[in-house]
């Protein structure tokens, strides 16, 4: 299944955070600042949304201090993203 684009506005409604990182090379290439846009689900699991592609990927890190990514999973569309977030969120 091909991943569908998820709009920025939808990502932000779901509680993603955005951290702007100043990177002149990146800006010269894409015309906008590099941003880390993610939603932390647990201390070791987060979802990242790439501004360039508008797609999501969930990842799990081993030791947060070392930042080693031990597993990744593609999020195929907005509905699947909402289901994953709901799974990890207490209501």
Per-residue pLDDT of the chain (91 residues; tens, 9 = 90+): 789 999 999 999 999 999 999 999 999 998 989 999 999 999 899 999 999 899 999 999 987 666 688 999 999 999 999 999 999 987 6
Residue keyed to tokens 């201090």: 65
Other beta carbons within 10 angstroms of residue 68's beta carbon come to 10
83, β-bridge pairs: none
pLDDT at residue 77 in the model:
97
Query: In the chain, what are the domain boundaries?
Result: 8-88
pLDDT at residue 76 in the model:
97
Helices (H), the chain: 8-13, 24-30, 78-88
């Amino acid at each position: 299944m091909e991943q569908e684009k998820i709009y920025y506005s939808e990502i932000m409604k779901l509680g993603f955070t955005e951290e702007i990182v100043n990177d002149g090379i990146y800006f010269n290439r894409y015309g906008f600042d590099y941003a880390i846009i993610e939603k932390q689900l647990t201390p070791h699991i987060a979802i990242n949304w790439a501004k360039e592609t508008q797609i999501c990927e969930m990842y799990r890190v081993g030791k947060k201090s070392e930042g080693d990514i031990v597993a990744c999973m593609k999020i195929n569309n907005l509905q699947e993203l909402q289901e994953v977030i709901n799974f990890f969120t207490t209501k």
